[in-house]
Structure 1
Amino acid sequence: MSKIKCNHCHLEFSENVMIKEGDLNFCCKGCQGVYHILKDDGLESFYDKLGNKTLAPPLKIINDDVTKFDSKNFLDNYVSVTKDGFSQIDLIIEGIHCAACVWLNEKVLYETKGIIEANINFTSNKARIVWDEEKLKLSEIILKIRAIGYNAYAYDSSVADEQASKAKRDYFIRMMVAVIASMNIMMLSVAKYTGFFTGISEEVKNMIHIGEFLLSTPVLFYSGWIFFKGGYYGLKNRMVNMDFLVASGSTLTYVYSMFILFGAKGESYFDSVAMIITFVLVGKYLEVIGKKSAVDTLDKIKSSLPLEAVVIENNIKKTVALNSIKLGDIIEMRAGEKVPVDGIITKGEGFFDESTLTGESIPVYKKVGDTVFSGTINSNALIEFEVTKDFRNSTFSSIVTLLEDSLNSKPKIQTKAAEISKYFTVTILSLALTTFLVWYFFGVDLGFNYSGANHFEKSFIVAVSVIVIACPCALALATPMASLVGISELAKKGLLFKEAKFIESLAVANTVVFDKTGTLTKGELNVAKMKILDDNIHKLNLLYSLLAASTHPVSCSIKKHLETKYELTEKKLDNVKNIEAKGMSASYTNVDGKSFELLGGNVELLKENEIYYKFDSNKTVYLFTINKRVIASFELEDEIKDNAKDLVDFLQDKNIEVVMLTGDNENVASNIAKQLGIKKYFSFQTPVSKANYIKELKKENKVVVMVGDGVNDSVALSNADVAIAMGNSADVSLAISDIVLLNSSLTSLKDAFIISRKTYKFIKQNLTLSLIYNTVTIPLAMAGLVIPLFAALSMSLSSLMVVLNSLRIKMK
């Protein structure tokens, strides 16, 4: 039967196994997929450059293997729905070795119809993919990734940990083979180089060459296989990466040494081959260790939840897995157990240790009706609670998701570094070729005296040194390693960054805008003075009812105060309306059909309704009226939070402008601002005016951070460059915030600025170090001052330098 050549890999196959597509022939769907990817991207010139050369086909696709990705069970377990209605999944992509691999996968995925977002983290190989399920199946996404030579599977913490351990073992075995072989090669090399000075026969020298050949071969083709594989897929997709530099440098040296072994004149460099692979492998292994150390914080958090819970159904207790817990289930918890999901206590009372969420070591007392959060510990009692959030949406799971998202995102500075590293390897290969040509044709000999080497040999070895010494890996690691360590350190302080890019934004911020109540102050207003002008119990019931309809700290404090003075009953009100930054209005109709118009709020609210009541105070004022007649007045005061003054002083010392926006009156605002030393503040602010003020700041090209905690801050938060919400904030504020301050401590907020600035400084240091390294060492190698052996060592040390420098973020 006749053989037909595949239009992609150019290998020949029997006609009966080929996939026909018009005039095109493909040996497999992998080659067919890659061909169309290149064609659709306008990269057909790849085949012109390939000429008559052949390629190995991409991974063989087993269709049965991907059907599980579209099953209901798989989608329920691993796929979530975004707020826009799109499907979202986290995948681990196997085969990623460098920034070029990330670029290729992201490029292919982004250009796939139906994919909305594809973000791959270089340090963890984790991809966050958002797609339109009506246009694309998940199995098709997996096949797309496989078609370009990579593999993907759903991210699962246990599976991911197993894969990471497997990769670590694989690196370790390959590294140890290389280390043991290289040590033996060095012993032979000592004899060979000693012979240069004391004399050595050709027969003995040939025996040494054979020994070095036997030892270096497994190092190159077994230990160094990962570099060949990475370089191959890079070339196949028109990307020249760091793996290609290592593979090409060591292979050229190996081939040249083979010529010497079989009779050509000169010296063999099998020792350099082994050392190149060994040193780079050691560096890569240390990178793996460094990455794992930074991710350990997330693993520790995730491992603290129980795997199951006791559910009470029809008075029968049964143990169920966390994923099987449903809304409305009644969970029983014994003393010392961890809360598996969020809920409201229905039976029992006791203390809960919430230090895993807030960092506060003092247990919190909770009773029937109070909310318990997943991840906290029931300290001392038998508790029953009703489930209000399933496992996926519970507090603890949301925190883990935020952490994973932040580790999966990229700061802006990383994008710039990726652009540089994309063209780096091509530049290095061009410099190596130029170096060889200059040395060979112009007889340049500026550096190291290669004993006994001929002219070609000198030129060749210098060019190899240029290839080996360059380190795009250090450049690619500079940002993700520092970001990873920074994010883990921030998490320890109770700070959750939804995306790593906010580290950079926070580090360069020059203006911080604070809400007052609940942010700079405790938000626990106490009634300092109460005046009841009409103590009719029915009218006080209406006041109590209006207060109960609001969750604002002012209303809650007055309601709590009234409960200590009177026995009041809540009435059903009509037309309840929240009036931004001023108060509330409502109406009430009694059994006789008589209607009452209720107002509760500040002096401005009364003026708007043509009720003129003179009331001067430097405290927060609340007035209550029925049918435009003042029934009661309250003066409240709020304590300033611990360390608020320290935070404001710190920010101003760093030349960061501090602004306070509050809905309170001028007297209250000026009093708080004076105590904290805030020079710029604005009172009587509505949610819209807060947002407009932030917009104006951004028009002045200021990088604005907004810190708030209430629903009225949500619009302003959404307009800031960085939105920070307190952990006790309203759900809407948490949803649109960029950073969540779990413990609501202003000391942790100060830590956020310190660690972010420190991380950003180390990112810039890493980039500078890697650029300086390459700027200094590449010319030295071109001048012939560095032999391949030391070039490989230098390359590994540069990557290790970046990793170790990033770990310094942990140091105080």
Structure 2
Amino acid sequence: MSNAPSTPHQHTGHNPPTGMDHGAMMHGHSSKMDMGGHNHHAMMIADFKKRFYVVLALTVPIMLLSPMIQHFMGVSWQFTGSSYILFALSSVVFVYGGWPFLTGWLDEIKAKNPGMMFLIGFAITVAYAYSAAIVFGLQGMDFFWELDTLILIMLLGHWIEMKSVAGASKELDLLVQLMPSDAHLVTNNVTHDVKTDTLKVDDVILTKPGEKVAADGVIVDGESYLNESMLTGESTPVKKTKGDKVIAGSINGNGSFNVKVSHSAKDSYLSQVVKLVDDAQKSKSQTQLLADRAAKWLTIIALLTGIATFLYWYLTGQTFAFAMERMVTVIVICCPHALGLAVPLVVAKSTALSAKHGLLIKNRTAFENSRKITTVVFDKTGTLTIGKFEVSKIISLHSDVDDKEILRISSALEQKSEHPIATGILQKVKELNIAIPTAENFKALTGQGVEATVEGKEVRVVSPGYLKENNLNVPDSYQSDETETVVFVIIDNQLAGYIALSDQIRPESAGAIQTLSENHIKSILLTGDNAKVAESVSKTLGMESFIAEVLPHQKLEKIKELQAHGEFVAMTGDGVNDAPALAQADIGIAVGSGSDIAAETAGIVLVNSNPKDIVNLILFGKATYKKMIQNLAWATGYNVIALPLAAGVLYHQGILLSPAAGAVLMTVSTVVVAINASLLKVKV
């Protein structure tokens, strides 16, 4: 998959390291939002195909005119000028067939970065120059037919391998294609079709049944079920009604609805994902840098071994032609091609696959290091639990004040608060259609609750801690359920009643924790909630331990403590109040950030808050790393065996590789690496 003849090394903004021309090209081309790169890639595949067929057509006459082949067959078709015809045909093969390799060679010399193209260009030029000298009077046997078969197999190998590479980036193209090109814009109740990229913030668009949502936004009218699986990995369709957010690219069910656009196409969730995947595919992890270094060394070894092989055979009495052929074979076999592709192919495949399953990799090294995780620290609310507090009971302690009144009065205070408990109370009020009174003189009691004046009464909604601190008696009827969070309602200094709320544990949490422990990974609960709730949740889920009642800045200290004990820590949090802890952890995983991919401090973002995704991430990280190592082992191991054979170590035992056989072996090794990368899968 070399550089196209016309555009050598313009793929990325820098010169890729040895053996990376194809990897860099793949990243630079087949994953651009405008799909122009994709077309360029397709053109290059077509170019190699055409060159291959032209060389194939010339192979038959070249073979028939070659003295060595005639000698094998015991025939002689020599005639006046036959060697010049052979020379002319071989020159076409050398220039037209070898063009991609020759231009690539020049690029690598210019960049002072010798790699695969340098080796192939050097090998075919040596073979061609020597054979041409034979035609014009030098004594010896030409090897035009070997030059021809070498170029033929190289073209075929590159063509096959480029197709495999195109496959590795296919997932990203699928993400790009999710974006519908047209949208139905609604203005003054009239609908007309426009291009998606012309949509502006606050435009209203109609989404019909079965169509893809054209832009991120909020439903202003209508409802439907949406399939968001290609974006979030969530397989069940999600019900969306007025006021709900929708993501561009999700597929509508059988309802229709109007969406108010929240940002333009280039800022949409999907565009951000595509950009993120593209950046991650281009970014280099430690493993990639290791492979690049290995490829660099392999190039140097190839050249030195090639020259040493030539000198050895020539100085021990073999013919110049024999020594030359050994040198060419060694250099071809030693191409760091498979090595250069070993990691980039796995990177392209894994990053795009992850995005399809709602795992967005921002930092490649963090992702590859996920295999080292020994402890996962979970933030409770919204990750292990659903994160929605629901009113589980309302207890009145006064005959004058019934349950509804307690709820009505407390809701006046809670409508001013953003806290999940407040949201739970207001949700209940909405369900019961209770009118919320206004609150005056609102004041927050730090860490203990809120107070205000409602309808002339002094009202406080407070935590059990407030009662203890102010020596108020906890009512006899109050039996704290370990999983409930309770707020007390005090009206005019009299305890009127209390409201208990609970946050349900996610159904997937227990399975996720169990899988972690099967993989010998500890799970620890870290929460600002009270110790009783934390203990109950961690026991129910079978977690290793819990750390409760911690403030955001203390979370950072807890992570440091774990690291001091030699743990490799992954922290999951919502990326806002957990930012310091996410940054401190060896791997920061931001969860549930939905459309907000910019969870700056996290190396990995999980689109859903599902704890099962964290397990999938770790297992997929392990699988990805395994694939990289398999590829690197194969690419290096093949050289260790093939190189001595090419140099002629077993020549006296009658085993000798021809340049064409060397090219076949090199191609096979590259294709094995490409196929192995494409077998990577996310287990869900």
TM-score > 0.5 by shorter chain = yes
- Measure, in 2, the Cα distance between the counterparts of 1:533 and 1:205: 117
- Measure, in 1, the Cα distance between the counterparts of 2:82 and 2:13: 40
CA 1:695–1:315 in 2, change beyond 3 Å: closer, same or farther? same
Letter in 2 for 1:402: L
- Measure, in 1, the Cα distance between the counterparts of 2:27 and 2:527: 44
- Measure, in 2, the Cα distance between the counterparts of 1:513 and 1:397: 31
- Give the 3-state SS of the residue equivalent to 1:407 in structure 2: helix
Question: 1:628 deviation in Å?
Answer: 6.8
- Structure 1 residues 432-441 or 633-642, which shifts more? 633-642
Give the equivalent residue in structure 2 for 1:307: 181
Give the equivalent residue in structure 2 for 1:375: 249
Match status 1:503 vs 2:367: yes
Match status 1:804 vs 2:668: no
Give the equivalent residue in structure 2 for 1:493: 357
Give the equivalent residue in structure 2 for 1:398: 272
CA 1:321–1:406 in 2, change beyond 3 Å: closer, same or farther? same
- Structure 1 residues 681-690 or 708-717, which shifts more? 708-717
CA 1:206–1:365 in 2, change beyond 3 Å: closer, same or farther? same
Match status 1:719 vs 2:584: yes
Question: 1:558 deviation in Å?
Answer: 2.9
Letter in 1 for 2:261: V
CA 1:675–1:210 in 2, change beyond 3 Å: closer, same or farther? farther
- Measure, in 2, the Cα distance between the counterparts of 1:519 and 1:124: 36
- Measure, in 2, the Cα distance between the counterparts of 1:670 and 1:480: 45
CA 1:256–1:522 in 2, change beyond 3 Å: closer, same or farther? same
Question: 1:246 deviation in Å?
Answer: 0.4
Match status 1:477 vs 2:477: no
Question: 1:797 deviation in Å?
Answer: 1.7
Give the equivalent residue in structure 1 for 2:48: 171
Give the equivalent residue in structure 1 for 2:422: 555
CA 1:105–1:552 in 2, change beyond 3 Å: closer, same or farther? farther
Q: Which has the higher contact order (CA 8 A, sep 6+)?
A: 2
CA 1:763–1:362 in 2, change beyond 3 Å: closer, same or farther? closer
Q: Is 1:405–1:499's contact at 8 Å kept on the other side of the alignment?
A: no
- Structure 1 residues 350-359 or 626-635, which shifts more? 626-635
Give the equivalent residue in structure 2 for 1:544: 411
- Measure, in 2, the Cα distance between the counterparts of 1:811 and 1:396: 20
Q: Is 2:383–2:591's contact at 8 Å kept on the other side of the alignment?
A: yes
Match status 1:195 vs 2:71: yes
Question: Aligned match of 1:159 in 22, 36, 51?
Answer: 36
- Give the 3-state SS of the residue equivalent to 2:452 in structure 1: strand
Give the equivalent residue in structure 1 for 2:130: 256
- Kindly provide the CA deviation profile for residues 233-263 of structure 1, in whole angstroms up to 9, marking residues without a partner as x: 2112322121010011111111111222233
Q: Is 1:499–1:738's contact at 8 Å kept on the other side of the alignment?
A: yes
Give the equivalent residue in structure 1 for 2:9: 95
Question: Aligned match of 2:464 in 592, 599, 603?
Answer: 603
Q: Structure 2 regions of 5+ residues with no counterpart?
A: 650-655
- Measure, in 2, the Cα distance between the counterparts of 1:504 and 1:700: 22
- Structure 1 residues 391-400 or 672-681, which shifts more? 391-400
- Give the 3-state SS of the residue equivalent to 2:672 in structure 1: helix
- Measure, in 1, the Cα distance between the counterparts of 2:671 and 2:437: 67
* TM-score between both structures, scaled by the size of structure 1: 0.74
Question: 1:232 deviation in Å?
Answer: 0.7
Aligned ranges for residues 643-792 of structure 1 at < 5 Å?
643-709=508-574, 711-727=576-592, 731=596, 734-783=599-648, 785-792=656-663
Q: Is 1:168–1:288's contact at 8 Å kept on the other side of the alignment?
A: yes
CA 1:625–1:480 in 2, change beyond 3 Å: closer, same or farther? same
Q: Is 1:713–1:733's contact at 8 Å kept on the other side of the alignment?
A: no
- Measure, in 2, the Cα distance between the counterparts of 1:293 and 1:549: 53
Question: Aligned match of 1:122 in 3, 14, 24?
Answer: 24
Question: Aligned match of 1:518 in 378, 382, 401?
Answer: 382
- Give the 3-state SS of the residue equivalent to 2:243 in structure 1: coil
Letter in 2 for 1:254: Y
Q: Is 1:545–1:573's contact at 8 Å kept on the other side of the alignment?
A: no
Q: Is 1:471–1:798's contact at 8 Å kept on the other side of the alignment?
A: no
Question: 1:282 deviation in Å?
Answer: 1.8
CA 1:274–1:196 in 2, change beyond 3 Å: closer, same or farther? closer
- Give the 3-state SS of the residue equivalent to 1:568 in structure 2: coil
Aligned ranges for residues 71-470 of structure 1 at < 5 Å?
95=9, 101-103=15-17, 122-126=24-28, 155-186=32-63, 192-193=68-69, 195-196=71-72, 198=74, 200-201=75-76, 204=78, 209-443=83-317, 454-470=318-334
Q: Is 2:224–2:240's contact at 8 Å kept on the other side of the alignment?
A: yes
- Structure 1 residues 315-324 or 660-669, which shifts more? 315-324
Question: 1:607 deviation in Å?
Answer: 5.4
CA 1:630–1:425 in 2, change beyond 3 Å: closer, same or farther? farther
- Measure, in 1, the Cα distance between the counterparts of 2:265 and 2:470: 48
Letter in 1 for 2:677: S
Letter in 2 for 1:465: T
Question: 1:349 deviation in Å?
Answer: 3.0
- Measure, in 1, the Cα distance between the counterparts of 2:668 and 2:68: 27
Q: Is 1:343–1:372's contact at 8 Å kept on the other side of the alignment?
A: yes
- Kindly provide the CA deviation profile for residues 334-366 of structure 1, in whole angstroms up to 9, marking residues without a partner as x: 333322112222223333333333344443333
- Measure, in 2, the Cα distance between the counterparts of 1:261 and 1:523: 82
- Kindly provide the CA deviation profile for residues 689-708 of structure 1, in whole angstroms up to 9, marking residues without a partner as x: 22221233334453322223
- Kindly provide the CA deviation profile for residues 595-648 of structure 1, in whole angstroms up to 9, marking residues without a partner as x: x57454x43466577767486431222214557764442333333323322222
- Measure, in 1, the Cα distance between the counterparts of 2:511 and 2:92: 61
Q: Is 2:31–2:173's contact at 8 Å kept on the other side of the alignment?
A: no
- Measure, in 1, the Cα distance between the counterparts of 2:382 and 2:295: 46
- Identity, in percent, stands at 31
Give the equivalent residue in structure 2 for 1:87: none
- Kindly provide the CA deviation profile for residues 159-210 of structure 1, in whole angstroms up to 9, marking residues without a partner as x: 2222122222112212222333335544555x84463474x55x72887654
- Give the 3-state SS of the residue equivalent to 1:479 in structure 2: helix
Q: Is 1:123–1:481's contact at 8 Å kept on the other side of the alignment?
A: no
Q: Is 1:96–1:125's contact at 8 Å kept on the other side of the alignment?
A: no
Give the equivalent residue in structure 2 for 1:143: none
- Structure 1 residues 387-396 or 315-324, which shifts more? 315-324
Give the equivalent residue in structure 2 for 1:146: none
- Kindly provide the CA deviation profile for residues 59-85 of structure 1, in whole angstroms up to 9, marking residues without a partner as x: 99xxxxxxxxxxxxxxxxxxxxxxxxx
Q: Is 1:96–1:102's contact at 8 Å kept on the other side of the alignment?
A: no
- Measure, in 2, the Cα distance between the counterparts of 1:512 and 1:154: 33
- Give the superposed CA RMSD: 3.5
- Give the 3-state SS of the residue equivalent to 2:393 in structure 1: strand
Letter in 2 for 1:708: G
Letter in 2 for 1:165: A
Question: 1:455 deviation in Å?
Answer: 2.6
Q: Is 1:621–1:633's contact at 8 Å kept on the other side of the alignment?
A: no
CA 1:301–1:236 in 2, change beyond 3 Å: closer, same or farther? closer
- Give the 3-state SS of the residue equivalent to 2:206 in structure 1: strand
Letter in 1 for 2:484: T
Q: Is 1:717–1:733's contact at 8 Å kept on the other side of the alignment?
A: no
- Measure, in 2, the Cα distance between the counterparts of 1:280 and 1:555: 68
Q: Is 2:11–2:28's contact at 8 Å kept on the other side of the alignment?
A: no
How many residues are paired up? 666
- Structure 1 residues 668-677 or 731-740, which shifts more? 731-740
CA 1:154–1:706 in 2, change beyond 3 Å: closer, same or farther? closer
